[in-house]
Amino acid sequence: MELEPIIGLEIHVQLKTKSKMFCSCSNEGEDLPANTTICPICMGYPGVLPVPNKKAIEYAVKAALALNCKIPNHSKFDRKHYFYPDLPKAYQISQFDEPVGLSGWLDIEVSGEKRKIRIHRLHMEEDAAKLLHDARGSFVDYNRGGTPLAEIVTEADIRSPEEAGAFLRELRLIMRYLGVSSADMEKGHLRCDANISMRPLGDQNLYPKTEIKNLNSFKAVEKALAYEIKRQSKIWQDTESSPSEQGTRGWDEDQSKTIEQRTKEGSADYRYFPEPDIPELDFDETWVDGLKSRLPELPCSLRTRFQDQYGFKKEDAYIFSTDKNLAGFAENVVSEALAWLSAQDPSVSEEEVETKNKEKISRLVSSWILTNLLGLMRRDGVSVSDLKISAENMAELMVLLYSLKVNKTNAQKILEEMYKTGSDPSDILEKNDLGNSDSDFSIDDAVDKVISSNPNQVSEYKSGKEQVINYLVGQVMKQTKGKSNPEEALARIKNKLS
């Protein structure tokens, strides 16, 4: 029996507002002592009245727009009833049948194949408190209770663990580009429950699903789904039918398996009804259109533009898109580098300079930022905002390389000094005498000396061991104190030995 997985995701995104969803308590309680950012409202005392956070509503609508959702004219809050220690009111203020966003989609790409994952809805709700467990017992920290959440529910369009991971990574990027959430799974700012069922390939029916909880990383989502595919496939193979009922399972990272928790509730179990203490919401079309017009460029659009406008490779454009600040830095470096080249020859128009040089400059920029500079940053845990190197100085270094005024070896030395001090690359080059030699005689002299001093290597090269020439090039670079162009040295050695 050939089976296919049917996967849908329910994602909670913690919105980065200053205060909670329905009261004025700080929304930064995770960094403060337990139960210090609470009040009668978020603790559910009798008689208190919740007041919706306008900024949270704005953030939720922005997120819905970025996910191509339709924004209805009317929305409302509802009470979702369940009894658990993390919910002091014994109900959660959420949204049931009239959310803020409906019928959206998000495009992803997995293994070169593009997939459109439909968004069923995006609604707002308050978060529950945090349960803490240790050897003494279980405790509740209510600091998190009442923080604003946007819950995003996909359609069951996902067909593999890899697609689920790609969707979540793209969603995190979008939330960060919008500035509505830091979306760190490790900190609980983005939490995911995955629903999965199996069905015979070609069958259009839906069978009882399993909801997987306790997924705190993208890898955990992918591994848990892969495990469930194997587990449910075995049930199908053994019984020739699907699991008999819906259920909830938790992911055990240590055992790398899902553990049965309870039977899955239906919406009737929560006894939803409209929240009587909060007025219903009417969204003004002008206000919604204003939010839409102010949305930033999103990752997918940025990747396409970086390829079309600057000629970046697809893979490099994707890496740049994973950090909005890094993408901005790279774009500024390319612009500044082209401006440097234009200033060197005022007789040539900026358009001509860009047409002639843009592709090569872009290759230099992507190579040196994504390999050399990013390597230094990752080594030290430095972010783009902490860089001492300005885009203008990085561009100047690219122009020195482009104009063959410095070779790659010495350019790396200059970059490391720029990284440490933020100094101008030309100053570092002159101070340390790292520029390429302009003297043909000095290169030829060094080549002659190296050839005469290394007869064994010369003989090996002439006998067919061509890789030996790399040693000779290194000796020329040593003779010229790294100031010769390696490509030029290679060409002259070959010429001499021919």
Helix/strand/coil (H, E, C) string of 250-273? EEECCCCEEEEEEECCCHHHHCCE
Average pLDDT over residues 187-204: 93
More confident residue, 242 or 34: 34
Average pLDDT over residues 418-426: 93
Q: What is the pLDDT of residue 437?
A: 52
CB 258 within 8 A of CB 249: yes
Half-sphere exposure of 391 (CA within 13 A, CB side): 17
CB 249 within 8 A of CB 41: no
CB 225 within 8 A of CB 261: no
CB 189 within 8 A of CB 163: no
Structure-block tokens of residue 343? 């200033």
Q: What is the pLDDT of residue 467?
A: 83
Write the pLDDT tens digit of every residue in 332-386: 999 999 888 887 777 767 677 777 778 888 999 999 999 999 999 999 999 999 9
Question: Is residue 41's pLDDT more than 50?
Answer: yes
Rounded percentage of the chain residues whose pLDDT exceeds 70: 95
Write the pLDDT tens digit of every residue in 445-488: 778 888 888 888 888 888 888 888 888 888 877 777 666 677 77
> How far apart are the C-alpha atoms of 388 and 379, rounded to whole Å?
15
Say if domain 440-497 classifies as CATH 3.40.50.720: no
Q: What is the pLDDT of residue 245?
A: 76
> How far apart are the C-alpha atoms of 151 and 93, rounded to whole Å?
13
Average pLDDT over residues 163-186: 96
Rounded to two decimals, the pTM is 0.84
Q: What is the pLDDT of residue 74?
A: 96
CB 409 within 8 A of CB 384: no
Write the pLDDT tens digit of every residue in 101-143: 999 999 999 988 999 999 999 999 999 999 998 889 999 999 9
Question: Is residue 62's pLDDT more than 90?
Answer: yes
Segments making up each domain of the chain, as ranges: 3-293, 299-431, 440-497
pLDDT, the chain, mean: 90
Rounded percentage of the chain residues whose pLDDT exceeds 90: 66
2 Cα distance to chain centroid:
34
Question: Is residue 82's pLDDT more than 50?
Answer: yes
Q: How does residue 241 score in pLDDT terms, banded at 50, 70 and 90?
A: confident
Q: What is the pLDDT of residue 481?
A: 66
Evaluated on CA atoms 204, 210, 213, 218, the torsion sign reads negative
Q: What is the pLDDT of residue 439?
A: 45
Structure-block tokens of residue 88? 């002091």
Q: What is the pLDDT of residue 339?
A: 86
Write the pLDDT tens digit of every residue in 251-296: 998 899 999 886 656 677 889 999 999 999 999 999 999 999 999 9
3-state DSSP of 22-61: CCCCECCHHHCCCCCCCCCCCCCCCCCCCCCCHHHHHHHH
Average pLDDT over residues 301-317: 93
Q: Which residues pair with 198 in a beta bridge?
A: 5
CB 122 within 8 A of CB 154: no
